[in-house]
Amino acid sequence: MTLTTPRARTGRITFFVALAVFAQESTWNLYDSQVPPLLREHLGSAALIGALMGMDNLLGIFVQPWMGNRSDGTRTAWGRRIPYLVAGMPVAAVLFVLIPHAAATLPLLILTMFGYALVANSFKPIAESLLPDYIGPERRSRANAAVKIASSITVIVAALISLFLIDDFPKLSFVIPAILMLASVAVLAWKVRDSRSPAYLAALEEDRQGSAAQAPRVPMRQVLLDIVRDADRSRLLVILAVFAFGSAWFASRSLVTNYGMEALHLSRGDAGGVSLPSGVAFIAAAYPAALLAERFGRLRVILAGMVVFAAAMVLGTVVRTPAGTVVAFCVAAAGAAAFMVNMAVVLWNLAPSARVLGTYTGLYTVGWSTGGFVGPALVGGMVDVTGWPFMLLDVGAVTLVGVLLVTRIAVLRRRRAEGPEL
C-alpha cells in the first residue's frame, strides 16, 4: 500500500489531526489526574480505584476497534471520519463537565464516568486514523510526533489546572477542558473534509476494483483472522507489546496523584502537578524520537525508549522525594515518547490495505486500552502488597515484559528483510 501527499498539505493536515487529538486528550488527562481522588472519597482500596479508572479502557477494548471498523466502511461527502467526530465530541464534553457534580454518591459518579468513557471511546480511534489517511508511511513518524506533542500539551494543561484551580474550584476546573474540546471540534467541522484524503480515495478505488457485491467495510472477523493466522506474528506481537507498555504507562499516570499524596505527603493539587514537567520533557523528546527512528529504525528506538522508561521508575524509587519523582517522570516521559510516537506507525505500516487503516488504529487502541484497564488494577494490587513507596518499581517491572516482546518483534523483522518498511 502506497500513499503520497504533497509536503505542504502534509503540514496542514498534521495540524488538524493534532487538533483533533488535542480536543479529546484535553479531557482525558484531567480525567486520569483528578477522578481518582474523587473515587478515593468513597473507596479505600488502591486496586479497586485502579480498576474503576481502567473502566474506560475496558470499554475501549470493544468500542474502539468496532468504531474504527465502522468508519472504514463509511462513505459520505464529508468523508469517513469527520462525521463521527462532529457528533461525538460535544456529547463527551457535556458528560465530562457533569463528573464532579456526580461525585456526591459513588453509584452516580460511576454512571457518569461510564457515560463519558463510552462516548469518548467511540471517536478516539477515528481522530487518530486521520493521520495515516492523509500521510504516507515514510513520514508518519514525524507527523505522529507532532500529534503526540499536541497530546502532551494537554498533560501540561491538566497539571496547571491541578496546581492552580482544582483545590479552590474543583467543579469549574472540569469546564476548561470541555471548552477546549468544543472549540477544537468547531474548527475541524469548518476546515476538514477527509473525503479528499489519499487513503479515502484509495479505498474508493479498491471498492471499484472489487466485485459488485463487495461491501466497503472489511469485516472485523476477516481482519482479525488475517493477523492471527499470519505465520510472521509481527502484527500480533505489536499489539501485545502495546498492551504491556500501556499497562505500565496508564498505571503511572492514573495512580500518580495518590502516590504523591501517600508516598510523598503532598496535597491533592501539588500531587496532581507532579506530572507537569514531564509533559515538557515529552514534547522535547517527541520529534527527535521520530528523526532517530527514521535513521536507526523504529523498533530499535522503541526498545531503547522502553528501557529508559523502566530505568526512570527505578530512579524514582531510589530517590523518593518530590524533586526526585519529578526528575524520574521527566526521564520516563522522554523514553515513553520513543514508544508512543513510533509504535502506532509500525502497525499502520503493516496494514495490508487503505480500507483497514481505521480498524488497525482500533486494534492498536485495543492493546493500549487493555493495558490501560489491566495496568492500574495490576499495579494497584501490587501496591496493596508492597505499599505506595514502591509503586514506581512495580511500574518498571511491568515495563520489562514489553521490552521482551519488542525484542522478539525486532528478531522476526530481521529474519524477514523483504517485509514492509516499518
Contact assessment for residue 199 and residue 3, using Cβ atoms and an 8 Å cutoff: yes
Would you state the pLDDT for residue 350? 87
What is the Cα–Cα distance from 299 to 292, expressed in whole angstroms? 11
Residue 212, pLDDT above cutoff 50: no
| Residue 82: partners with Cβ closer than 8 Å, 6 or more residues away | 188, 189, 192, 193, 194
What is the Cα–Cα distance from 298 to 422, expressed in whole angstroms? 7
Residue 363, pLDDT above cutoff 60: yes
User: CA nearest 154: which of 198, 118, 184, 119?
Assistant: 184
Mean pLDDT estimate for the chain:
85
Residue 213, pLDDT above cutoff 50: no
What is the Cα–Cα distance from 221 to 203, expressed in whole angstroms? 19
DSSP run (H or E) holding 137: none
366-382: pLDDT as tens digits: 888 788 778 888 998 88
pTM: 0.76
Residue 7, pLDDT above cutoff 60: no
What is the Cα–Cα distance from 370 to 359, expressed in whole angstroms? 16
Would you state the pLDDT for residue 113? 93
| Residue 103: partners with Cβ closer than 8 Å, 6 or more residues away | 38, 41, 109
What is the Cα–Cα distance from 78 to 197, expressed in whole angstroms? 11
152-195: pLDDT as tens digits: 777 777 777 877 777 777 788 888 889 988 988 888 888 888 88
